[in-house]
């Protein structure tokens, strides 16, 4: 995953490091969990990396929450993608029990945990499949992304590097 992220970053870096980092942070599965360590690896300052990664990670979220359910419905109606979309939906719904039980707090914590399979894309898809309203879903996902961003920034830059600005 790190090598794929680095190759994508190098490919996009012709347009500038900031734009490349922004695009990497929007890629599903990589998100800010990959873009923040990548920004640290390339020697970018942490406040810039944090802001770019958070904004880039959050940009697709309203579209996923709004169009996720109709998109899954359509994908399941196609012959070619029916099986894949059903497996993805089942996998997401299997992870949704804590979100269902604790609603907004559960969604926030699900997104905040910086592990593979959690994050803004998965959280937004779960919110869409569960039929959550836009405002509470966006608020929970945004808070979760901010928490994950802080965890990844501290992990990537070290506690002293993170506190250096303060």
160-165 LR contacts (CB < 8 Å, sep 24+): 161/46, 162/46, 165/46, 165/47
Number of H helices, E strands in the chain: 9, 0
pLDDT score of 52: 96
Range in 19-28, 42-51, 90-99, 111-120 the model is least confident about: 90-99
Residue 109 CB partners (closer than 8 Å, separation 6+): 98, 102, 144
User: What mean pLDDT do residues 118-134 have?
Assistant: 89
pTM of the model: 0.80
Mean of pLDDT over the chain: 84
Residues 28, 67 share a domain: no
CA atoms of 26 and 98, how far apart (whole Å): 25
Please, which pLDDT band fits residue 62 given cuts at 50, 70 and 90? Answer: very high
Would you say residue 26 lies in a domain? yes
Q: Which range among 64-68, 75-79, 159-163 has the greatest average pLDDT?
A: 64-68
In terms of Cβ atoms closer than 10 Å to its own Cβ (0-12, 13-18, 19+), residue 24 is buried
CA atoms of 64 and 163, how far apart (whole Å): 34
Q: At what angle do helices 120-130 and 61-77 cross, to 10 degrees?
A: 60
Residues 138, 67 share a domain: yes
Would you say residue 6 lies in a domain? yes
Please, which pLDDT band fits residue 46 given cuts at 50, 70 and 90? Answer: very high
Domain holding 47, by residue range, is: 2-55
Please, which pLDDT band fits residue 154 given cuts at 50, 70 and 90? Answer: very high
CA atoms of 41 and 27, how far apart (whole Å): 18
Residues 78, 16 share a domain: no
Answer yes or no: is pLDDT of 18 > 70.
Answer: yes
Longest dimension (CA), the chain: 55
């Amino acid at each position: 995953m790190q090598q794929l992220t680095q190759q994508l970053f190098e490919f996009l870096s012709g347009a500038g490091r900031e734009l490349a980092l922004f695009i990497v942070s929007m890629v599903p599965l990589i998100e800010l969990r990959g873009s923040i360590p990548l920004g640290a690896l390339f020697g970018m300052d942490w406040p810039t990396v944090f802001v770019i990664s958070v904004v880039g990670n959050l940009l697709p979220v309203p579209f996923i929450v709004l169009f996720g359910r109709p998109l899954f419905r359509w994908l399941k109606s196609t012959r070619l993608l029916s099986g894949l979309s059903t497996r993805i939906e089942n996998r997401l719904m299997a992870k949704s029990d804590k979100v269902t039980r604790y609603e907004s707090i559960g969604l926030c914590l699900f997104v905040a945990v910086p592990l593979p399979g959690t994050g803004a894309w998965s959280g937004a898809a779960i919110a869409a499949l569960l039929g959550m309203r836009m405002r509470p879903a966006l608020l929970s996902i945004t808070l979760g992304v901010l928490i994950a961003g802080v965890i990844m920034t501290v992990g990537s830059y070290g506690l002293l590097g993170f506190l250096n600005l303060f």
